[in-house]
Amino acid sequence: MGRLVSILAPIGIIILVGVGGSVVLNMIKPEPEKADEPRAGLNVFAEPVRRGDLELSVSAQGEVRPRREIVVAPQITGRVSYVSPDFIDGGFIKKGQLLVRVEAADYELAVIRARSGVASAEQRLAREIAEAELAVQDIQDLGLDDASPLARREPQLAEARASLEGAKAQLKDAELALNRTAVYAPFDGRVRERSVDIGQVAAAGSALGRIFANDVVEVSLPLDDNEMGRLGLPLAFAATADKPGPKVIFEATVAGEPRQWTGEVVRTAAAVNSMTRQINVIAELKDPYGAGADGDAPMAPGLFVNATIEGETIPDVLIAPRGALRGEDQLFIGDAEKGKLSIRTVDLIYSDTDGAYVRSGIDEGELAIVSPVQAPFDGMSITVMERLEDGTVKVYDPEDRTDTETGNASETSIAVTGAEGTPQ
């Protein structure tokens, strides 16, 4: 018995000391600091909704072409004796300027022959008039009352007068052919191409070159029905002084530099294209080589341009960032005070790269979410972040709010150096 006690006594002492030490250590150890719970919800960037005016516009593309362009051709046949030094590819020409002249010798001789024929016809008419007067006098002297028209020489007199008119017509025709030996420019413009030179025989109606007027150029812009409605243009539109067409901004790169010209819509095409179901809107630019040019860059024919047609202005609409638009008519709004996602269906007017324009469904100052959100649902927990102009990010933290009187979420600004739109 004594031997058993001697064995169990040390074991009991060890157990008692261990348990007591453990109790004492638990009593004197410091309380562990509790870490703040991580913020719940998805971090998303948002931008405030603002008010402004919506300027409706439509973009299109087209090729510049002159409003007037003709083929230069002679009306008579002959050898070319003169070509204007300005009648060359790219040359500037003036209205009434002599471009080409055909040898006129044959046509001058024809005028001389025609004048001779007129003189002969005039002499014959004078003789017939005299003979008719003598015939009438003889009839009166004989006291005849039933003399025939032939006896009075009336048919002969009518024939002489007709011959004179025919001779005069031949003279006019010869003079007209002589005048047509010279080809003049019908308008101010430029030469697109020339296909004739001195010594070449030109046939009547053969092409000598092409010229176009430089007073006005046109661009045909294809638009669909929705775009026509956005501009408020009817299918049979024609601009007038009382109702001018919409303003058009043309843009193109010329000689490596971006250029811009300002014109206007003047009319629509007569019919809808059966293949594309679009209608062409014709826009004009006046004086493309002068006042209408962008500095030293004219809007030359053949140039391919981008056009922006300005439509009507709708005042006082709500403007959300374009990235906040989901589907056709939904916006994700972040409730910064509650840290919740709100899915709104809005009355969308129009959207472009500058924003989504809305009549109703949101309020000015609300935060529209631009970050991607997977599997969203109304009331989803989020943390709203707004990027400021100075590059810092304002974080709206509803869980740290302590001011119960104002009811506003607390705000923390932090510097963000990561990629745009990615929380750091």
Segment 210-247, tens digit of pLDDT: 999 999 999 999 999 888 888 888 888 999 988 899 99
Please identify which residue in the block is written with the tokens 């003079």.
175
Per the rule left: phi > 0, alpha: psi between -120 and 50, beta: everything else, 247 is beta
- The distance of Cα 75 from the centroid of its chain, to the nearest Å, equals 40
The strands making up 69-72's β-sheet, listed across from edge to edge, are: 69-72, 209-213, 189-194, 92-93
User: How many Cβ atoms sit within 10 Å of the Cβ of residue 98?
Assistant: 15
Task: Give the C-alpha separation, 416 to 144, whole Å.
Answer: 128
Query: What residues form DSSP beta bridges with 50?
Result: 319
Integer Cα distance of 135 and 41 in angstroms: 126
Q: How many angstroms separate the Cα of 397 from the Cα of each of 133, 171, 412?
A: 124, 101, 8
Q: What are phi and psi of 323, to 5 degrees?
A: -70, -15
Are the CB atoms for 206 and 200 separated by under 8 Å? no
pLDDT in tens, 138-161: 777 777 777 777 777 788 888 889
Packing angle between helix 105-142 and helix 154-179, nearest 10 degrees?
170
- Exposed/middle/buried for residue 189 (C-beta within 10 Å: 0-12, 13-18, 19+): buried
- The tokens describing 365, both together, are 């100052």
Give per-10-residue mean pLDDT for the chain (424 aa).
60 64 63 52 87 87 95 94 94 95 93 93 90 80 76 83 92 93 94 93 93 95 89 88 92 93 94 90 94 92 94 87 87 87 88 85 89 87 85 75 44 48 42
Per-residue pLDDT tens digits for 388-400: 888 788 888 765 4
All structural domains of the chain with their residue ranges? 43-48+317-415, 104-180
What is the CA angle 130-136-142, rounded to 5? Answer: 135
Residue type, 292: G
Compute the 3-state secondary structure of the chain and give helix, strand, coil in percent, each to the nearest 5.
25, 35, 40
Residues above pLDDT 70, as percent of the chain? 84
Give, as one character, the DSSP assignment of residue 33: P
Q: What is the mean pLDDT of the chain?
A: 84
Beta bridge partners of 345: 330
Instruction: Please answer whether residues 190 and 211 qualify as being in contact, where contact means their C-beta atoms are separated by less than 8 angstroms.
Output: yes
**Class of the domain covering 43-48+317-415:** mainly beta
